[in-house]
A and B are shown apart, each in its own frame.
Chain A
């Protein structure tokens, strides 16, 4: 089986936290435990403007939604409910192809 991964198009991630709660609902994780964690990064650009980036990070509790993806053939809960639709679940090879054309993207390979 080719390795599966999550790709985040962080040009458009709005930091809405839907991925975090989708993950908690999917796994019934309690407060203090979650499979994906949203990070905020602020950078002052050379022109003085502020750039805000949000990057959700799959934690040690991310199982790439094993039940959903393997048994039901669905995408991960975070990808499904991402309001900005910036999370993609696929093979590393497929995602790498898509990343070629993205302004800003990152791939995570949780295990």
Chain B
């Protein structure tokens, strides 16, 4: 790369770096070949010039002294943290040899390909996984696969497509576009979106709408800032979102507040739904959820009577017991009120130009890799034999079944793991000690990442260093507009996830080699947009369609949702399926219902007597994304310690002072946190952040960067998955007690 004295490169951010689900336009300032500053791109419709704390600290991430910058080979025992620097050629040769050996001896299915959260990885890792021939694309330890996919599954069966709260994100001129109408009411359900850009949604879009007049209903166990600005705040017990949704459906249906014309014309099964919800009167549902009946009724009326109204939701929905059922009930709310694909409602989200980066549906998988291939792989995927929905939707391994299979070797033994952009031991895996023990048995483990972390130190045989977002060529299409990541600086001896996986795929594939370079591959995938990677970069890294099926609104009327071009929704009946025939086909109840978590104040009163607080993990902060960023000085300064939020009265009863280190413990395990006494916490609910390992602590086992001191997932079990296989991870619903362990400010 030429060493310009100073230049500005416009790109779209999508990990590694800011780390999050991405989408923002950045102007990277490069001086003498080095990234010196990040500014928001005012011309980019996604963020319109703003950048969050994580993005603004990008220089400290990219130039961090602890970044791994060369491929490494383990020389000591796993966990000793002893490494030898090797060349990429050596690293690729070792990986090729080992993975081919395993495939020959045990079959391709005996290697799992693991990623973490939804970043610039779903594309490259599925590409490698399928080239190798394995059906096992997985998020290790993500109990019940409780992140977005359960909600996607419910939307797929109900609406045939995915929807999002309409904050004008599918219009190039955004809030200025005359087609857009601001939602009169937004239900912000189980998320604090201002802390990031989760699930392809820039959180502050909600604030943009508030400033333009949208009123809020917030459903959240914590009093968040958004809750404090809401017309109605339902401060519910974690795991009861389904009760609230069913109670609201009861009110809206029985009071006749639904959109009769839309229901008659575009929905199936309304009478069956009406009959079902009679079991869920608001009084009963409010009592279950620890909220006031009148508030639940007011919320239902306000939402239904304020059209257009939108619902924005978060990952705790997935972790509800029967997450796919809860998400279905919530999808029914926007469906029966006719708030789907209208301006200011829940707009249908389709990828710009139909370009796929990260396959979000089975259909996208089939389009990329062929029906036959997808069908064949579905037969052997871990969890498919037990869960028809796992077999029928998207292509993920069921993570709870994986853990059992790692331990028992049945129905087949897993021998290898390719873990990329994921730190299950220090991050997403519930019951991380059980996972560490199970994964130790594997013959060969590759970790691809930017920094060492508990997983790489404990398990990697080979470590491959990944390039940061400013150092790579990639593309992003989640959902709109079509964007790309432009290589602004030299990547040194690191490589992008796409580069690594394309090279490995070309070495391992049993089929023809289609692409020699990443740019060839990207250009091929961009074909539906009629643009190349370089052309996209020249446009400033984004390109918005003027028309076509990804442009709203009312596409169910125009035939833009279905492959056959007929009006209607992309479901078997062509209607919004209030009665889900796909659930029925998968052996599931086609209508929504409510169940308690397997451990809860109601289902296990004896456990509740011993552990009288609900342990809600995964509390987000704006300066970290999951298990990342604790080594970034400007960010760690803002949140230096893992905290547990406790209501002041509860803390007083326990003799706990603000700032004191405490132990949260339960029947599954324990972890240490610093007490943060706050009236935002419900007296019976404590909240902790997740992904806490301490980069400055000792890396080697047994400590693994103090992972076992602070990893909250030690209190969260595996094996609580929903009947569908998707949803039900108890990340928000475990029970615990909190005890004092020491003096103020001492560990």
Contact = CB atoms under 8 A, between A and B. Distances in A.
B207 to A, nearest CB: 5
A12 B56 contact: no
Given A14-B225, A18-B51, A80 B634 contact: no
B207 A50 contact: no
Contacts of A52: 223-225, 228, 680
Interface in A10-55: 12, 14-18, 20-22, 24-25, 30-32, 42, 44, 49-52, 54
For A24, A80, A83, which residue has the most chain B Cβ atoms within 10 angstroms?
Answer: A83
B641 interface: no
A43 B148 CA distance: 35
Contacts of A82: 50
A17 B622 contact: yes
A92 to B, nearest CB: 23
Interface string B36-63: 0111100000000111110011010000
A98 interface: no
A83 B57 contact: no
Contacts of B52: 16, 18, 81, 83
Given A14-B207, A16-B194, A31-B634, A50 B679 contact: yes
Contacts of B211: 12, 85
Contact of A25 (B56, B210, B622): B56
A25 B57 contact: yes
B40 A81 contact: yes
B210 A32 contact: no
Contact of A31 (B49, B50, B233, B633): B633
Interface string B186-216: 0000000011000000011001101100000
B623 interface: yes
B213 to A, nearest CB: 12
A15 B680 CA distance: 15
A41 B638 CA distance: 17
B379 interface: no
Contact of A22 (B56, B678, B680): B56
Contacts of A16: 52-53, 194-195, 204, 622
Contacts of A51: 228
A85 B50 contact: yes
Nearest to A11: B229
Contacts of A54: 225
B637 interface: yes
A84 B207 contact: yes
B207 A83 contact: yes
Contact of B638 (A20, A30, A83, A84): A20
A7 to B, nearest CB: 15
Interface in A49-86: 49-52, 54, 80-85
Nearest to B632: A21
Nearest to B678: A42
Interface string B273-293: 000000000000000000000
Contacts of B37: 25
A65 B247 CA distance: 52
Contacts of A22: 51, 56
Contact of B679 (A21, A42, A81): A42
A49 B38 contact: no
B635 interface: yes
Interface string B211-237: 100000000000111101000010000
A21 B225 contact: no
Interface string B630-651: 0001110110000000000000
A17 B40 contact: no
A21 B53 contact: yes
Nearest to B210: A12
A85 B51 CA distance: 11
B268 to A, nearest CB: 41
A82 B51 CA distance: 8
Given A16-B194, A17-B623, A31-B633, A25 B207 contact: no
B194 A14 contact: yes
B56 A18 contact: yes
Nearest to A38: B638
A24 B633 CA distance: 11
A15 B623 CA distance: 11
B203 to A, nearest CB: 8
A21 B634 contact: yes
Contacts of A21: 53, 56-57, 623, 634-635, 638
Nearest to A23: B56
A21 B204 CA distance: 17
A52 B679 CA distance: 10
A17 B204 contact: no
B38 A84 contact: no
Nearest to B207: A84
Q: Which 6 A-B pairs have the closest CB atoms?
A: A14-B194, A21-B56, A52-B228, A21-B53, A83-B204, A17-B53
Given A16-B204, A42-B680, 8 more contacts: A14-B226, A16-B52, A17-B622, A21-B638, A51-B228, A80-B50, A83-B52, A84-B194
16 contacts: A14-B207, A14-B225, A15-B622, A16-B622, A18-B51, A18-B53, A20-B638, A22-B51, A22-B56, A24-B634, A25-B37, A32-B637, A52-B228, A84-B194, A85-B208, A85-B211
